[in-house]
Amino acid sequence: MSRIIIAYNPVRKISNDIIDRFSISESFIQSQTVQETKIHRSFLLNGNAFVSVVLKKNQEDQIFIDSKTGLAVFIDGSPLVGVRTMSAKNIGEQYLKVGPEKMASSIDGSWSAVIVEPKNKSILIFRDRFGRVPFYFSKNADCFLASSSPGSLVKSRLMPAKYNANMIARYASSNYMATFGLKESFFKNIFLIDPATFLSCDSNGVITEIQYWRPDAEANYFDDSEKLIEENFYNCLSDMIKKYFVVNESKNFGVTLSGGMDSGAIIGLLHKESKKRVKAISMTYSEKTSFDETDLINYSVRDHVSQWTDIKVEEKFLLDDFPDLYSRFDIPLCTVTAYCHEILFRKAVEIDMPVLFSGAGGDALQAGTYPFYLYHLADLKFSDPKKYEHELDSWIKNHSTEIYPKNKNTAETFFSNRIDFTQNGKFKSSPMLLVKDILNDEFQNSVGSLGQPLVDIPGDYLRSYTMQELWYDSNAAFESEDVMCWSWGVNVVSPFFDQKVVNFAWRLPPHHKIKNGINKALARKVLRGIVPNEILNTVAKKGFNAPFDLWARSSLKEFVMDHLRSEKFKSRGIYNQNIFQKCLNDHMDKKVNHMMLIWQALNLELWMRNWIDTDKK
């Protein structure tokens, strides 16, 4: 991995003042990691562009500058073409051969790249297909700026430490899916390059963004026989794991293991491909809750694992980490689960497991999360009323619980709030507030709509939601995960994001994803013998979710209350304090579970104190 910072002024050479500020940016980036780093600086485009790369050990191939043409390439992450890990030189050669769009669309893996093109005096910045590696950009009074880290721009005062009110309002009030994946960042006037997009800044200072890939909304579903689809699906998964195994075979790798089918498939396929059991690491906790996946994890351990490291996540970790957490993280963490990955990455390095295979992306491709049922029902409502009634009854039967009952009205309410039936595949962008009227009225009115960001891909609702998951909802943890990977030197490998797998899943008929109220229908069939039967037969999705609701009422209570009852917190003018403090008290009194609201309010306050308040001193 590397970290890249760019300044480009098309009309004059980069000033000494900006170079001095880069030193502060570099120091901040170095402070984010425990590993040894070195700095490579380049003056390009006759001194009008300045690029600094903070490198880790043995990462020199992530920089290439052609002495003849002046073309310069800088990469972060692990771009792959087939089983070949691309160096900066490889990227440059491919760029010259086929151009930016074809070059980018041919690459898999988690990566970003910067190309400085002397021919037309432009800078191009690429972000991978699903936005696994973030890249930020901005423009101050006279200079185009970009960086792997928004905090590096703010710490150096290349950009002012001002918060983006719309993002703050979203994070403070709404489900995390309404906050992350947007073009905006938490800092004012600092923006994210979109997934599957490259940005260019030309010699006139004009910034253009071009999307190099999007799925074909008109692609037909497979109409092959059931048997052939099953064979092709298994072969696609087998080829997928073979590719990523070959790339990482010589490295010390393991699997981040949960109790779900996706990580179970990854470790089962790796076991079969490597012909030996595989190391695994997982997170569980001592408290017994409905989210506990320990029993399911044990089945994969029984069948596929050579060495299992299980981390018992405890509330004391948060107490130790919270005071200094946002000296490294320049964005608020989306969930307590995202924080728990910090613990996992730390432990992985400690046990010499720097490459971690993950099942991320599998849910999006196989309709693996709860909302997929409802989007599938929306497709059936008018296209096949008889099947709609059957799938609705099956969904109610399989997924209704005492706490979250399901009935026909549940589905109809969802349709009313989320589905635009005037155009197939179109959603309504409604707010996802955790508590009604939780924001201060004046603050709420100043930021406008807090509707969820939505994809614009016409077609059916199930396909649209697949891309919603891949581009927005899954994106929630990417920015924080990127910081964690840099901090601890971990490389996360997510085979389900491979473009061949995505293309296959895109054309997989809906009944192979959801059938009789059960999701991942085809995977449950073809992965027999790969994933333990006990996991395949589990219909309800648990999902790892640390019991922050319990911790906030116990040893974390004093820390939480000190921050969320402080005058500093109240004076920010973000929350309607009457409503917020009632929610806080009701949670502590065990009347209601406001875990998500309290998590986000606490992390927002910690982020504000580290990033906004410190700038005012």
Give the pLDDT of residue 617: 45
pLDDT in tens, 62-83: 999 999 999 999 999 999 999 9
Q: Is 131 within 8 Å of 181 (Cβ atoms)? A: yes
pLDDT in tens, 31-66: 999 999 999 999 999 999 999 999 998 889 999 999
Lowest mean pLDDT among 217-231, 262-276, 412-426, 454-468: 454-468
Helix, strand, coil percentages (3-state) for the chain, rounded to 5, are 45, 20, 35
How many percent of the chain have pLDDT more than 70? 99
Give the pLDDT of residue 542: 62
Alpha carbon 499 to chain centroid, angstroms: 17
Main-chain phi, psi angles of 587, to 5 degrees: -65, -45
pLDDT at 85 over 50: yes
Whole-model pTM: value is 0.95
Give the pLDDT of residue 26: 97
Give the pLDDT of residue 180: 87
pLDDT in tens, 283-315: 999 887 777 889 999 999 999 999 999 999 999
pLDDT at 549 over 70: yes
pLDDT in tens, 143-158: 999 999 999 999 999 9
Give the pLDDT of residue 551: 95
Q: 3-state secondary structure string, 452-492? A: CCCCCCCCCHHHHHHHHHHHHHHHHHHHHHHHHHHHHCCEE
Give the pLDDT of residue 616: 54
pLDDT at 474 over 80: no
pLDDT at 338 over 80: yes
Give the pLDDT of residue 58: 86
Residue closest to 472 by CA, chosen among 265, 328, 331, 334: 334
How many whole angstroms separate alpha carbon 363 and alpha carbon 294? Answer: 20
pLDDT in tens, 574-595: 999 999 999 999 999 999 999 9
Give the pLDDT of residue 430: 83
Identify the structural domains of the chain with CATH numbers, from first to last: 2-211 (3.60.20.10), 226-365+475-536 (3.40.50.620), 370-435+451-471 (no CATH), 548-616 (no CATH)
pLDDT at 431 over 90: no
Q: How far is CA 505 from CA 19, 447, 572, in A?
A: 47, 38, 46
Mean of pLDDT values over 515-539? 96
